[in-house]
Structure 1
């Protein structure tokens, strides 16, 4: 990795990009936890001043990147990723053109490597599409969450899609299984969320007055045995938003070992649900080049379909 301080000029193609995303592209081998740590410590400077991870860069900005040391590692290639995983992701591509790609991400696959994870979905896609010079994640979903994930193939496309996200023009809808019965009178959940760093580099999110605004819309799709299948439409996209909003209403998500009841979750593993019951089902946006309105549906993975069938009421 870099053995000395780098001063990187922000070009027009990177204008509007968040500082953390900018650093992840320039320091691709660095763990995500390291990137956030050097930002928090003030080692990363924008125009000689401290900046936050969510600072939006502008053309002409100068970003100071400190010397970063990480374990030596060759670039990810075919031999680093199991062939079965390459095939699995290739078969999970829902749509692709010259500008972007939509993938039905499997549960258990991180969106990118780092923090002890050798590779994630974006690294797999870069191996699958070696001629695409700039493949970047447009947004993220949790490692244990399955479903729609959007990838841009060009900086201009990424910039346009990020502008749509900021303008609340994305349609993001999820399917989740919540434990117990969802409250009948609760459809809109408007509770601010605060994200706290954990010593291991992870996150823990809580409802807090000093948190950021977070709005979710819940709707019961089907009553199950001891649980409800709900659809969730996001107005905002905060970390762990659905999981914490569901918990705040007394209905933790099935398989959520971070916020839910681990002992309860164990009962569903023999039934085939060994992970978080959260699926990014629909993703809608405007194509940055063709200006076509696009809406994609990610089919449920077999484990999710099986648990719904198993718990369906007669």
Structure 2
């Protein structure tokens, strides 16, 4: 078999699925197990039938059950401690950005510019970098997502049970997410709940989200924090988790986000760039939920990054 990676070539392995891993998709299990192996290679192994479950072929979306036996073919992986190029530095950066960690969960203050997953020309994202930095970790999975340019609170589960519990809370709307966003113009809508139906589509080869009656329901509460003539700072609490939800709803309300090169205003973005804004002004400021086991409210906050604080300071000087 041709290999896409360098390093030791182990023998065939037979892995029995523990109860803790039950319910996980086969492809996700393989990506986590074969750290450093490109996803494209993992899916090729599945297509060719070289990965077997209970001696038979299995599809990528097969849900593993406790007691299943997974056959892993010989596949070269990077030497331990030798992550993909850029992975080590990104992993170290993320380790320094941890807001909280326990035996079930990591809460990150994700820097802007790092995607949550590799792909689209990126060799690594948050989860790949964390796995490279912690090769001994048996389980690391994203609980939810943030756009690449969005900074702030991001959850990573260290146990399958924690992932399932948090996914249930997210599905039933019991996780409170609050963002800080700088929008164009003087916000005069007060505190308002915006409700739209959003639909993903492709326009000019680019994935975009539009307001469309055939789309999925999206709801957000926008609250002004500081109102200016040029721009206004808002706190946004999202009730649903649709792709680009805040960005699209703000633009639809006539107040697109600063630095938004997809839904924003070019002249406004150029004006903000002169004030030092080099990315989307959207920050996941806090995330909280009631712990189902203890009934305790868990709340984690990420401070506004220095680059965004500097933009607000310069805006204040312009007003003065």
TM-score (norm 2): 0.75
What is the alpha-carbon distance in structure 2 between the residues aligned to residue 224 and residue 237 of structure 1? 28
Q: CA 1:178–1:83 in structure 2 vs 1: closer, same or farther (change >3 Å)?
A: same
- Deviations 1:144-197 (CA, angstroms, capped at 9, x unpaired): 000000000111111111111111110100000000122425600010100124
Report the equivalent of 1:273: 277
Report the equivalent of 1:296: 300
Task: Quote how far apart the aligned CAs of 1:286 are.
Answer: 3.8
Report the equivalent of 2:90: 85
Report the equivalent of 2:268: 264
Range that drifts further, 253-262 or 127-136: 127-136
Range that drifts further, 14-23 or 208-217: 14-23
Would you say the 8 A contact 1:110–1:120 is kept in 2? Answer: yes
What is the alpha-carbon distance in structure 2 between the residues aligned to residue 242 and residue 229 of structure 1? 13
Alignment of 1:221 onto 2:232: no
What secondary structure is seen at the aligned counterpart in 1 of 2:241? coil
Map 1:168-187 onto structure 2 (within 5 A): 168-184=173-189, 187=192
Alignment of 1:118 onto 2:123: yes
Instruction: Tell me the number of residue pairs that the alignment of Structure 1 and Structure 2 aligns.
Output: 281
Task: Quote how far apart the aligned CAs of 1:87 are.
Answer: 3.1
Map 1:1-314 onto structure 2 (within 5 A): 13=20, 29-30=38-39, 74=78, 77-78=82-83, 80-81=85-86, 84-184=89-189, 187-197=192-202, 203-287=207-291, 292-312=296-316, 313-314=319-320
Task: Quote how far apart the aligned CAs of 1:25 are.
Answer: 5.6
What is the alpha-carbon distance in structure 1 between the residues aligned to residue 255 and residue 62 of structure 2? 36
Task: Quote how far apart the aligned CAs of 1:130 are.
Answer: 2.1
What is the alpha-carbon distance in structure 2 between the residues aligned to residue 58 and residue 83 of structure 1? 31
Would you say the 8 A contact 1:225–1:311 is kept in 2? Answer: no
Would you say the 8 A contact 2:84–2:124 is kept in 1? Answer: no
Task: Quote how far apart the aligned CAs of 1:262 are.
Answer: 2.8
What secondary structure is seen at the aligned counterpart in 1 of 2:200? strand
What is the alpha-carbon distance in structure 2 between the residues aligned to residue 222 and residue 278 of structure 1? 15
Gaps of 5+ in 2: 4-15, 44-58, 69-75
Range that drifts further, 100-109 or 21-30: 21-30
RMSD in angstroms over aligned alpha carbons? 3.6
Q: CA 1:58–1:83 in structure 2 vs 1: closer, same or farther (change >3 Å)?
A: closer
What is the alpha-carbon distance in structure 2 between the residues aligned to residue 106 and residue 293 of structure 1? 25
Q: CA 1:285–1:250 in structure 2 vs 1: closer, same or farther (change >3 Å)?
A: same
What is the alpha-carbon distance in structure 1 between the residues aligned to residue 65 and residue 197 of structure 2? 32
Task: Quote how far apart the aligned CAs of 1:59 are.
Answer: 5.8
What secondary structure is seen at the aligned counterpart in 1 of 2:274? coil
Report the equivalent of 1:48: none
What is the alpha-carbon distance in structure 1 between the residues aligned to residue 260 and residue 247 of structure 2? 8
TM-score (norm 1): 0.77
What is the alpha-carbon distance in structure 2 between the residues aligned to residue 117 and residue 191 of structure 1? 32
